[in-house]
Structure 1
Amino acid sequence: MAPIPDFVPEKRTGPLNVHVFGDSLGDGIWAGLYRKLPKADGYKVTKHSRVSTGLVRKDFYNWSKAVRQIVAKHRVDVAVVMIGTNDRQTIVEGGRHALRSQGWEAIYKARIDDMTQVLKDEGAEVYWVELPAMRSPRFGRDMKYFNTLFEERAVANGITYVPTWQRTLGSNGKYSAYGLDDKGRKRLMRTNDGIHFTMRGYVKMAGFVTAAMEEAARMEEVVPVVELPVEPVAVSPLIDPITGATIKAPVATAPLAPDQPVAPSVDQPDAPDAPGDQSAVSGTPQRSERAGVSEVASTIAGALSDLRGFVLPEPKPGRADDLRQPAE
């Protein structure tokens, strides 16, 4: 079998190219990542987000076409997507499909999958960012609905889903314009519209993405365990040397119960009774060598008899099966 090569992660040449796609929230994520991933540390963060766009209105901005043009011109190592705040609209494709209808949902999922697949086909690691908590309950319900679709498709497409909703709630579990920044200080994190963030807020949101990237990098460093195939070992059957018949293996018996006494094995030498036992010290056997040889011969003959299934005849002097020692 050929030797198994050592696991060597693919080496990257040049900066890590991080490309950001999405709407106005995607704009903010790009600004946060631009500060979290400086060029001096080997990162290049590029913005492709477009304000007022979404996956619904292809007539206004066609993300399916745009993402194909982008990957044709740029090397995309990491793709960060945050979109959806402008998608509370009817989809017009083979008819009109109202928001949340079965047709609307099927088309919207297909567009998520299409965008994801184009990025994956180019070898990009895709991070789809969950929409954050919103101040308006009605608007927030639709954003939560979109998040269920984003998470479902992220799992189905094998990409990383970055949760943000619970992380952007206040300490009381409700929407709050204030929160803790990267240094643990309470700061204004949201703008007056209850949707967007301040720059401190976007830096914190970008931190959720970089944390997910670091976790993915740690997972890639784990050396995979390779299981070697186990080849079966051929066992030759036991053949009776006299009859030529195949000897069946003895059937295993159940183990003895814990309290059941174990019978001593046959012909085991007696152990010394104590450290002062003279026979043990001198090495003098307690039985004669002739008796020991006779018993060994008897044991061999008995074992052969059991294997053949019949009793051996009484050995006669001078015959080949007479294993007894001649008398002195």
Structure 2
Amino acid sequence: MLRVAVFLILTTVTGLAVLQPVQPAAAQERVERKSFLQLLFGGSGSSSSNGEQTTRKAAPEVSRTSRVNTAPSRRSVAPPPDPVVEKLENARKILVVGDFLANGTADGLTAAFSQAPGVVVVDRTNGSSGLVRDDYYNWPEQARSIAEEVQPSIIVVQLGSNDRQQLLVDGKREPVRSPNWTAEYERRTLSLINALGGDSRPLLWVGLPAFKSPSMTSDMVALNGVIRKQVEKAGGEFIDIWDGFVDEEGKFIYTGSDINGQQVRLRGSDGINVTTAGRRKIAFYAEKSIRRLLGDAAAEGVTALDSANFPEIFMPPAPDESVAAIMRTMPIAMTDPALDGGSSLLGEMPATASLFRSPRDQLVLDGVLPDPPKGRVDNFAWPRAEP
């Protein structure tokens, strides 16, 4: 009976233990294992008021980006173009004729007088023309009609760079720079000068520059000599530009000084054509003579042209070989002997007032040399005295 009672009690206790609900794992307190550093220095997750441990949230990672310069880029600003100047109705006209070099000179003169209301540049050039191929373009015939149409105040000519060709003389082809070729070329040059007006208006003939080809450069030197002779004979002005396009040794250059003294490219890669800076430089040579002839008419800001600001320009008379040469008096220098009475010879000078004659007087008047010092090498006294 006792055994049955004990068995019932044990059975009841075991059943109650089985029926007791078991707490889930998530409801139990979570114990975090501490690292060695946390055990040594302390520090752990802080517990909240309800007994649950809160974990420290990591700070959000900041993305690193490369620094970008947001400042606006500085770009070179081109200078504003010069304002367009309206030309006067009676502006003086500069007629430019010639080949492709003259075309560049016309562009340079246009830029030079762009701000001058009293000057207009008229370009009547033909790039492939010359004095040799009159069958292609006959300059003496065309020049007369051009001059009558334009009525220029000044004529600028640059011609000859295309004339390194055989020339037909009396039905026979003459080689370049032969005597007959040179004589015919001189005749055609003078014919062109007369067709442009002769001595009725100023004529400026711009010379030819050096080229890359040595043979072509040699021919240009010869042509400049022929043209200069005819232009000066007709009373015109030959403008020599040779030194502006060669170095100190007289050799062809691609790069040189512009009108402001800066080193720039003057010639094209072919060694023949001229760059914009080179054109302006050629025109600069002619510009000086043009401004001298036009006076105040070539100045900027001119509002009207009359006799007060436009001088009378004319060609000097051509030299006449029958007229005797004009005797010109040379200027007297500051060191001229006549200024200090040195026109007399040495013997005509008054005698010096002295009781003793100087070694010079002894030599000039008496012809006696002074005695040399004893013992000197030029002492020829005999018998020789002991020193």
- What TM-score, normalized by structure 2, do the two folds share? 0.51
8 Å Cα contact 1:71/1:122 also seen in 2: no
Residue 55 of structure 1: aligned partner: 131
Relative to structure 1, is the Cα distance of residues 102 and 173 closer, same or farther in structure 2, using a 3 angstrom cutoff?
A: closer
Residue 178 of structure 2: aligned partner: 101
Compute the displacement of 1:55 (Å): 0.2
Q: Choose which of 212, 231, 244 in structure 2 pairs with 1:167.
A: 244
Compute the displacement of 1:133 (Å): 1.6
2:126 partner amino acid = R
Q: Distance in 1 between matches of 2:109 and 2:210?
A: 20
Q: Distance in 1 between matches of 2:262 and 2:148?
A: 43
Matched pairs, number: 213
Q: Distance in 1 between matches of 2:258 and 2:139?
A: 33
Residue 145 of structure 1: aligned partner: 222
1:175-208 deviation digits (Å, cap 9, x = unpaired):
2111112222111111111122100110011000
Compute the displacement of 1:216 (Å): 4.5
Please, which runs of 5 or more residues in structure 1 have no aligned partner? 1-11, 223-256, 260-328
Q: Choose which of 224, 227, 233 in structure 2 pairs with 1:156.
A: 233
Q: Choose which of 188, 196, 202 in structure 2 pairs with 1:111.
A: 188
Q: Distance in 2 between matches of 1:68 and 1:39?
A: 30
1:144 partner amino acid = V
Q: Distance in 1 between matches of 2:178 and 2:244?
A: 29
The answer to whether residue 197 in structure 2 is matched with residue 120 in structure 1 is: yes
2:103 partner amino acid = D
Residue 29 of structure 1: aligned partner: 105
Relative to structure 1, is the Cα distance of residues 170 and 46 closer, same or farther in structure 2, using a 3 angstrom cutoff?
A: same
1:190 partner amino acid = R
Residue 77 of structure 1: aligned partner: 153
Runs of 4 or more above 3 Å deviation: 214-218
Q: Distance in 2 between matches of 1:170 and 1:221?
A: 39
Q: Distance in 2 between matches of 1:18 and 1:170?
A: 31
Q: Distance in 2 between matches of 1:221 and 1:67?
A: 24
Relative to structure 1, is the Cα distance of residues 221 and 16 closer, same or farther in structure 2, using a 3 angstrom cutoff?
A: closer
Q: Distance in 1 between matches of 2:128 and 2:121?
A: 21
Q: Choose which of 101, 114, 117 in structure 2 pairs with 1:38.
A: 114
1:52-97 deviation digits (Å, cap 9, x = unpaired):
1100011111101110110221212111111111111111242222
8 Å Cα contact 1:56/1:89 also seen in 2: yes
User: Aligned to 1:120, what secondary structure does the other structure show?
Assistant: coil
8 Å Cα contact 1:170/1:178 also seen in 2: no
Q: Choose which of 253, 258, 261 in structure 2 pairs with 1:181.
A: 258
Relative to structure 1, is the Cα distance of residues 44 and 87 closer, same or farther in structure 2, using a 3 angstrom cutoff?
A: same
8 Å Cα contact 2:93/2:121 also seen in 1: yes
1:58 partner amino acid = D
8 Å Cα contact 2:199/2:234 also seen in 1: no
Please, which runs of 5 or more residues in structure 2 have no aligned partner? 1-87, 296-310, 314-347, 351-387
- What TM-score, normalized by structure 1, do the two folds share? 0.60
Relative to structure 1, is the Cα distance of residues 193 and 133 closer, same or farther in structure 2, using a 3 angstrom cutoff?
A: same
8 Å Cα contact 2:95/2:150 also seen in 1: no
Question: How much identity, in percent, do the aligned residues show?
Answer: 29
CA RMSD in angstroms comes to 2.5
The answer to whether residue 264 in structure 2 is matched with residue 207 in structure 1 is: no
Residue 313 of structure 1: aligned partner: none
